[in-house]
Amino acid sequence: MSISTLERPTQNSPAGMQAESDRAIAVIDTYRPTAAEHTRLQEIDEEFPFLPAELGSKATYAVLDLTDNHAGTFKWRGAMYAAERASQDGAASLWTNSAGNHARGLILAARALNMPVEVRMPTTVPDNKRHAASQLWPDGQVATTLVGRDFNETTAYSDEQPGSGQLIHAFDDPDVISGQGTVVDDVLRLEPRTSDLCLPVGGGGLLAGVLMRLKSLGRSDINVHAVIAPGSDSLPRSLDRDFDDIVPATQPNRRYGGSCVSAVTKYAPDQCRAYPNVELHTVSDDEVERLINEYDTHRQDNHLESVPPYEPTTLVAIAGLMQIPSRRGGRVVALGTGRNAPLYPSRSVERATRVWVGQQRSS
């Protein structure tokens, strides 16, 4: 059966979950050439040669580089699958709220499907970041709308004034989640010995997709380690509550880009509860900062400035490797999620964080 004629299954049943996951990887495999996507496995010492001595020798460690594509991030997968689904369901155009990797992924998807797309960004987004996203389809049908001082204000505006066509949410969308889950197929293709997966948690879409896909493939034996930045604790707080009760993060951590999310998708705690081998780890700012400093020093010492660095969000996951119990013979794979942000937050981000914290303390 062709992709275009496959009916939408019921995702809350095991058979439906299997069918949706299988369809998602078929779509991603079909559109990989349009994104120039080349996922590869790196041994940990390729970019982090200072880590093996700290991690020990019982297990071996690798990083799945999901950034070698036009978007520079894994997020083109979720955007691509959701956009293709929207097209099949009759949508004529797409829109989203995003100033980062999801926007880049959705523009690529819209280009592949030749669909108009609107991206709504905060007014504080740097010009170079805004132009970099639109340049992914320079002669195409991309509209960029600047509204609100931050992502929350942009989203609030869109709640009152929705865009035209189908909204493709960055992470709280079952089709986006199914698309993100296709990273599992690349993991198992490139490293079938994988015993542990380590990934960062932002909105929880990647985590939910990974858990869903592992279950559908009968690989619930793989241990999944979800690494959380300090303050961005919506997932563990939600897991402490009843079903369908999403609890906001204590203080979303703005230092690490994709980790700065106020509330995770409801699918993340749902999938965590249903998966037998998932562990949550919270790393400290000191741990991530130390890793960033060592990584940056290594890059400068070896004149690697021409190679884009992994984003701080990825380094949150790499820092989490230190908390994973070392199992003899284990093969631990961390997910390298993006290369579109600088290692260090800008002064404006640091200043905005201090203002935000001050507001929280005074309220």
Q: What digits encode the pLDDT tens for the residues 195-207? A: 999 999 999 999 9
d(CA 50, CA 71): 29
Q: Which tokens go with 213?
A: 């896909």
pLDDT at 342 over 90: no
Q: Return d(Cα 306, Cα 323) in angstroms, integer.
A: 31
pLDDT at 360 > cutoff 90: no
pLDDT for residue 176 = 98
Confidence of residue 11 (pLDDT cuts 50, 70, 90): low
Give CA 52 to chain center in angstroms.
25
Place of tokens 């984003």: 311
Band of pLDDT at residue 280, cut at 50, 70 and 90: very high
Per-residue pLDDT of 258-273, as tens digits, reads: 888 889 999 999 999 9
Report the chain's mean pLDDT, rounded to a whole number.
90
| Mean of pLDDT values over 299-312 | 93
Give strand pairing partners of 281: 227
Q: For residues 114 and 111, what is the distance between their CA atoms, to the nearest angstrom?
A: 5
Six token digits for residue 122: 């905060």
Task: Flag whether pLDDT at 350 surpasses 60.
Answer: no
Please tell me the least confidently modeled range out of 41-55, 69-83, 87-101, 243-257. Answer: 243-257
Round to whole Å and give the CA distance between 110 and 106. 6
In whole angstroms, what is the distance from residue 101 CA to residue 109 CA?
Answer: 12
Residue 324, helix vs strand vs coil: coil
pLDDT of residue 127: 80
Strands across the sheet containing 60-65: 40-43, 60-65, 331-336, 196-200, 223-228, 278-282
Give 142's Cβ-side CA count (13 Å radius): 25
Mean pLDDT of the region 306-326:
94
- Asked if 85 and 8 count as a contact pair (C-beta separation under 8 A), the reply is yes
Residue 230, pLDDT above cutoff 80: yes
103-125, pLDDT tens digit by residue? 999 999 999 999 999 999 988 88
Reduced DSSP (H G I as helix, E B as strand, rest coil) percent helix, strand, coil of the chain, to 5: 45, 15, 40
Complete domains list, the chain, with CATH: 21-73+175-359 (3.40.50.1100), 76-169 (3.40.50.1100)
Residue 221: what pLDDT? 98
